[in-house]
């Protein structure tokens, strides 16, 4: 379904760009804590709610399995573009 999205639908929101960049800066992978927050490199992400991560997952930029989460190759690419000041897609 993500492949059918038009270019404007694929653009990341500011919150999504920050979330992708935050996780990329901490090694691209993390775990979910008991409160549902993403924890990476020993730091809990406090400024992104679950819907941000779910929307990134539906766009194919983020994966989750058995409490482990991380950026997909496409998500890492979006993170690198976000660091360069691009729109992330």
Distance CA 41, CA 57 (A): 20
What is the per-residue pLDDT for 57?
94
Residue in 16, 24, 33 with CA at minimum distance from that of residue 88: 16
At 16-35, the pLDDT tens digits run 999 999 999 999 999 999 88
What is the pTM assigned to this prediction?
0.80
Bridge partners of residue 62, in order along the sequence? 71
Nearest to 21 by CA among 34, 7, 38, 6: 38
Q: What is the fold of 2-83?
A: Arc Repressor Mutant, subunit A (1.10.10)
pLDDT of 74 strictly over 70: yes
DSSP 8-state class, residue 13: P
Three-state SS at 48: coil
Report the mean per-residue pLDDT for the chain. 85
Residue 5 above 70 pLDDT? Answer: no
- Candidate from 1-10, 13-22, 30-39, 52-61 with smallest mean pLDDT: 1-10
Ranges of each domain in the chain:
2-83
């Amino acid at each position: 379904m993500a492949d059918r999205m038009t270019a404007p639908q694929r653009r990341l929101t500011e919150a999504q760009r920050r979330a992708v960049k935050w996780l990329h800066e901490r090694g691209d992978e993390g775990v979910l804590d008991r409160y549902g927050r993403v924890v990476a490199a020993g730091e809990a992400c406090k400024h992104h709610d679950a819907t941000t991560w779910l929307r990134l997952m539906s766009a194919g930029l983020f994966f989750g399995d058995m409490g482990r989460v991380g950026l997909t190759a496409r998500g890492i690419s979006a993170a690198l573009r976000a660091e360069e000041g691009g729109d992330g897609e």
